[in-house]
Amino acid sequence: MIKPHGSEKLNPLYVMDAGEREALAKEAQSLPSITVCSAAAANAVMLGSGYFNPLTGYMNLADSISAAEKMQTTSGLFFPVPIVNVVQDASAIQGAKRIALRDPNVDGNPIIAVQDVEAIEEATDEQMKAMTENVFRTTDMDHPGVAAFNSVGKTFISGPIKVLNFSYFETDFPETFRTAWQIREEMAKLGWEKVVAFQTRNPMHRAHEELCRMAYNALDADGILIHMLLGKLKKGDIPADVRDAAIRKMAELYFPPNTVLITGYGFDMLYAGPREAVLHALFRQNCGCTHLIVGRDHAGVGDYYGPFDAQTIFDEVPKGALEIQIFKADHTAWSKKLNKIIMMRDAPDHTKDDWVFLSGTKVRAMLSEGQSLPEEFSRPEVAKILMDYYQSEAAKQ
């Protein structure tokens, strides 16, 4: 395993000591408090988990602007996106040096973290626009990440935090949610040194499965970390519990024992394409992974990014900024000519009709209507889990 980003050892911001955590939780009840947005709560979970090592809390406005523009903070620390606590109205905590952050995603808005306030700063419209453009490469409010970033306010509350819990992720996904240090511990127990990570926010069809196998074999890796996003998604994406069940079934039936770790992390999807791909690499390094699979349109949405922008952006990452390496993948699909799944770039003689390829819209329609997916596209056991979900959704309408 490789060392974390920016430090020799991982420094998660979760308060590990139970006594200290209890005392801090008690103190937090008497502090001025504010209910943060979902993205800020997810950032707290990621900071607490060690995924955003070596950050000690939320960035100030200058660091946010610098990270958006140059992929580094004002001190020169490489970080590809701003990690922020942004609110509409900070009047409830004006003048406070220490505040409690309340979770918007759990009933009763319990306190998720305590923050020492270093600054409360208002971004200008021009600064918000520039950060949006730099991170998302668009300011189109139809882009779900752009809409989320620009709908929560312009007031940046910066400073170090101590995290008390992992929001709903630990309770809703007890078998799947793992912190960066827990993943490191599990990989160490398995004796894994060379580990390839696969990012997903979707169920894994045959092509995804084979892509993991291709990378595993090509790199002569010890294991595969299937690492799924468990946080907020855009409308129409498949819920995390359904994805989790489908991925577990695939790994159980089609991979040898002890070659795959199925885990998840608590973060709201940015849909930031290239920038999010770099963030994905950074926090997989913090998990101890040596490689990350980056395929076509990684972390993208719609037509906002070119198919390989998430690969070419790594050419802009300064040498030595990250230790993790990228396994560059093309789209993978079943070749009717070769009777197996391959990367499309490896078959220049193929035409469109030579591939088994279904659009997401077509897949959803077939599953909703109870139609089986082609076995070349999806494992039948996986398709059954997805079909049950889509049919239950259709029955509600």
* Helix, coil or strand: residue 187: helix
Distance of CA 348 to CAs 1, 335, 340, 376, Å?
Answer: 37, 12, 15, 20
How far, rounded to the nearest angstrom, does the alpha carbon of residue 191 sit from its chain's CA centroid?
25
Alpha carbon distance 302, 64 (integer Å): 26
Alpha carbon distance 345, 328 (integer Å): 12
Alpha carbon distance 46, 33 (integer Å): 20
- Angle 45-69-270 (CA atoms, 0-180°, nearest 5)? 35
**303 CB-near residues (< 8 Å, 6+ apart):** none
Do residues 203 and 246 make contact, with C-beta atoms less than 8 angstroms apart?
Answer: yes
Do residues 254 and 379 make contact, with C-beta atoms less than 8 angstroms apart?
Answer: yes
- Name which of 198, 215, 211 is nearest 333 in CA terms: 211
Instruction: Cite the active site residues.
Output: 201-202
